[in-house]
Structure formats: structure tokens, C-alpha cells
Structure 1
Amino acid sequence: MGKDSKAKESAKGKSKQSGGGSAAEAPSKGKSKGGGGSGKDELGTCTYVKARHVLCEKQGRINDAYKKLQDGWINNGDKVPPAEFAKVAAEFSECPSGKKGGDLGWFPRGKMAGPFQEVAFSTPVGSTSAPFKSTHGYHFILVEGRKN
């Protein structure tokens, strides 16, 4: 559960979770279906993730959205309720899913590209990732569920 404290630190600057170009390569390193992974909470071995996200073109806007969650929930050590995350997504997200509270539903490993998949499949259930960059812009994710 130390993810939230890391998220606070990385939200102040460039996200450390995106890891530059290496994050896009990470899913191929033993994290495929049946791969080793970390074992904890089946982070490295689950097949499906249910998530919400906020997507913004500009880093400043994603940081503003994340700060809104941080001030209300994350800094207090609380997990962000999906309904609260949905309000922020509806207000800030530039993705069509923003109208649905950022809900991406269940998606399988391999559907999302590079850093997005890496963050979605490595964030613990109930936790919110720090902002990170992908080919589509800047995101942060709330992981709501995980299954095989």
C-alpha cells in the first residue's frame, strides 16, 4: 500500500512510473499470462484489470486533476472511492471515457499499450497511480479490480 506515498512524491515532478522508454518493454519481461510476476496480489499474473483513468494532453492539467484527488483523499492516506474518482474524471479527462467517470471496464493484458498497461497491471486494487506519460498524453489510473 506504499503506492499512495510514492504517488505523492512523483506527482510533484515528472512521474517515475513511466520509466521513459523502458516501461513499454516491461510487459514482455515475464508478466504475460502464467508468467512469474511479483506474486503479491497477483499483480504480475492477473489476466484482466478493471480500471478508471483520467487522460489529459497537458502535464499541467493532469497535475491539477491529481492534486484535487491528492488534497481530498490521497494525502489523508485514504483510498479514493470510485465515485469521487469519477467526478474528477468527468471534470478533467479529455478522453471520451471521462463522460463515464473514466470507466474503462475490464480489459485484458495486451489490449493497452506500453506504459498504460504496465501501470494498470502493477497498481494494487483500490489504489490510484501517480500521473504518468503515454503515447496518448498524461494519465493516472484507479484500479478497481483484478481477475484471471
Structure 2
Amino acid sequence: MGKDSKSKEAKGKGKQAGGGSDESASKGKGKAGKGDGLGTCTYVKARHILCEKQGKINEAYKKLQDGWLSNGDKVPPAEFAKVAQEYSECPSGKKGGDLGWFPRGKMAGPFQEVAFNTVIGATSAPFKSTHGYHIILCEGRKN
């Protein structure tokens, strides 16, 4: 249910964004049974990029896609951090978009849904929240 609403939102952002979202969602289904805790964990460690304008977040996503995602690779956290420092308009951008560990219930709506449903090491497709447009890199999960 939650993954479907995320995919529909991401698909509105263009063909590239929709492809990444569907890929992450399908990988998540395969790994959920292997102890990934997808959607059931209590804490997530994540980085993100936040932009007010859709065009700017799409630029950041294209940079990630050209470097890693189009080859099916996962974006290394250090490289995601460089893109976050360049593009993110959130104060966390200065720290490479690092949000650290946060519990379920701390983040609002779509942000929490995407963060808790992105496979460890995977990068979400761009999506919209009340704060703007985001891309999330999930770095870990724990209960």
C-alpha cells in the first residue's frame, strides 16, 4: 500500500525517477524476507537532498544516475554526500545530507514512508513532501 503511493508520486517526476522507484520497490520485496526489516524496523539511518524546486532535485538525481544508478550500482555514501553538499538546501546539506538515526514517527508523511521503505544502500527516486523535493539514501536500519 505505502510503496504504491510512493511509486505514483515518483512517476510524476519523469521516466528516470519512476524507473528508480520501481526498481527499489521490487528489490525491497525480495530482501524483506531476508532480515532487511524493510518497513518494520524502528530506526533508519539516512542521508537526503532537499530542494525547493523540482528542476533542481531532478538535476541532482541525474548526477547520481549518470554516475551510478544508470549502471545499476548503488551510490557510495561519500559520493551522495558530495552531491548533497552541492545541491541540498537543507542545513544537513553541509554535512553531506546526513540525518543520522531517527525513529519511526519523527519524520512526517512521505519522507518517513520513503525512508523506511528504501533498501539499505539504495537511493530513492525524487519525491515531494511539504518541505520540498527529496532524494534519500538509506544507510542502515535497526530495532
- Structure 1 length as normaliser, TM-score? 0.76
After the TM superposition, which parts of structure 1 deviate over 6 Å for at least 4 consecutive aligned residues?
none
- Following superposition, the deviation at residue 80 of structure 1 comes to 0.3
Within the alignment, does 1:52 sit opposite 2:54 as a pair? no
- Following superposition, the deviation at residue 101 of structure 1 comes to 0.1
Q: 1:14 to 1:69 in 2, by over 3 A?
A: closer
Partner of residue 110 from structure 1, selected from 83, 105, 109: 105
User: What CA deviation, in whole Å up to 9, does each residue of 1:28-54 have, x standing for no partner?
Assistant: xxxxxxxxxx95321121000000000
What 5-or-longer segments of structure 1 have no aligned partner?
1-5, 17-37
SS at match of 1:62: helix
The residue number in structure 1 matching 2:115 is: 120
Q: 1:133 to 1:15 in 2, by over 3 A?
A: farther
Q: 1:54 to 1:126 in 2, by over 3 A?
A: same
Whose helix fraction is larger, Structure 1's or Structure 2's?
2
User: 1:136, 1:13 → 2: CA distance?
Assistant: 23
8 Å CA contact 1:39–1:45 kept in 2: the answer is: no
8 Å CA contact 1:51–1:104 kept in 2: the answer is: yes
Give the count of matched residue pairs: 120
User: 2:55, 2:93 → 1: CA distance?
Assistant: 18
- Following superposition, the deviation at residue 12 of structure 1 comes to 2.2
RMSD: 2.0
The residue number in structure 2 matching 1:138 is: 133
The residue number in structure 1 matching 2:38 is: 43
- Structure 2 length as normaliser, TM-score? 0.78
The residue number in structure 1 matching 2:14 is: 12
- Following superposition, the deviation at residue 14 of structure 1 comes to 9.6
The residue number in structure 1 matching 2:57 is: 62
Identity rate, percent: 78
User: 2:44, 2:77 → 1: CA distance?
Assistant: 15
User: 2:82, 2:142 → 1: CA distance?
Assistant: 26
Within the alignment, does 1:92 sit opposite 2:94 as a pair? no
What 5-or-longer segments of structure 2 have no aligned partner?
1-6, 19-30
